[in-house]
Chains A and B, each alone.
Chain A
Amino acid sequence: MDKIELRVMKLTAGMLAIFLLALLYASYARNVGMPACVPYSGVFSKPHLQQIDSNTYEAFFVAKMWSFEPSDVYVPAGSDVDIYLTSSDVVHGFNISEKAVNLMAVPGAINKKTVHFEKAGIYKIVCHEYCGIGHHSMEGEIIVYDKTK
């Protein structure tokens, strides 16, 4: 094999190894999770928020033309929220731009992502998958309040 060709192969293999290590670091050291698919059940079709321990919540969102239900969710700062998402009509998007949340709401399917809200504030949810004439106004909020105030 040509000497230069071998060097190029080593260089690219090294770069791929660096990418892989960075992903492993993000996954294990920084706890960056991937969205998961959950088996469909009737529980998810009823939009609600429930507390499952002192700082963990489950939010069941249903996307529909052209809103999210529940549209406002209140959780205290420092909470972990398990977001379960489905759609009752067409495919919608579910994006929290301040957080690494980018989900699809698909009828008959459930997507799940766990998000940690450390800072108090209003986190806007927007639909980022074109879903019809009211798409631009389809939004919701996760309001993270400071427990000490």
Chain B
Amino acid sequence: MHNDQLQKEFKPKGAIAFFVLLLILCAGLWFSLYYVMLQKQ
């Protein structure tokens, strides 16, 4: 019963944080190259 309750309330905080950091890193790289392209235009 206790385990069922825990499973229902489980939120993968670590995985979410990792995914969000990955998105931020990806956006950072993408926009840094984008900025270089605009500067060279």
Partner-B contacts on A (CB < 8 A):
4, 8, 11-12, 15, 18-19, 22, 26, 30-32, 98-100, 116
Contacts and interface: CB of A to CB of B under 8 A. Distances in A.
Interface residues of B, number: 15
A6 to B, nearest CB: 13
B37 A12 contact: no
Contacts of B23: 11-12, 15
Contacts, number: 31
A32 B19 contact: no
B38 A8 contact: no
B41 A32 contact: yes
Contacts of B11: 4
A32 B35 CA distance: 12
B41 to A, nearest CB: 5
B16 interface: yes
